[in-house]
Amino acid sequence: MIKVYGMGLSFPTNRVRMCLNAIGLNHEFIIINPLVGETQTDVYLKINPSGKIPAIDDDGFYLFESNAIMKYLCRKHESDFYPKDIIKQAHVDKWLDFINAHLNNSLIKVFFNKIVAGLINAEADKKSMEEGYVFLKRFMTIIEKQLGTTPYLVDDNMTIADIALLATVDPFEVIDIDISDYPNVAKWASKLTDLPFYTKMHGSYKETFDSVITG
């Protein structure tokens, strides 16, 4: 059985968990918390030398980086969530890169300074957090426009690009971003969060967040 190392607050970890659920693969979720140094042990560093999450162990094959993991799982199990058609695949790759470079990196700035800094007694960088909010607003308008023209990021079918996006907008509520400001995204997200690949992971990100923060 595939082992997934990560935690429920990790957006990249949740990409992998949703992908596994969407494909229909049973897996063991091993909670490992980087905030208390659990990713820096010798054992874990053999799995992921960067000391970050997520990572998977597929019967002795170790892989890290969430997008690489999702592509691997789809290819191995011949899932159309990563299309074989070269043009559609290029569009999926485009959105995966866009989400990572522009949305996820901006989200990390906000999430770290608004949430994580307080948990690890670090000083928040307000300027970095404000920049994160500005960039999220800027690049979410592009996502909003795209989802006004197609039901999913790539035409009419869900792909791992949608999974990556869903994991990224999932924490918006806890960082005080109102997803209803992006009605096309809100409609798309509402549709996906009702599906088993999401509900099998959690009821909502805020539910997971509250359970972790309150212990």
Residue 117: which residues within 8 A CB-CB, separation 6 or more? 123, 124, 125
Active-site residue (options: 10, 66, 79, 106) = 10
d(CA 89, CA 73): 15
How many other CB atoms sit within 10 Å of the CB of residue 73? 24
> Is residue 10 annotated as a catalytic residue, yes or no?
yes
The C-alpha angle 16, 22, 28, rounded to 5 degrees, equals 50
Q: Is the alpha carbon torsion for 198, 104, 115, 51 positive or negative? A: positive
List, as one string, the DSSP characters of 127-163: HHHHHHHHHHHHHHHHHHHHTTTSSSSSTTS--HHHH
* Cα dist from 39 to 35, 47, 48, 190, 197, whole Å: 9, 10, 8, 33, 26
Q: Is the alpha carbon torsion for 186, 191, 194, 198 positive or negative? A: negative
* Cα dist from 130 to 124, 142, 174, whole Å: 11, 19, 16
User: Coil, strand, or helix at residue 2?
Assistant: strand
Q: Could you give the residue numbers annotated as active site?
A: 10
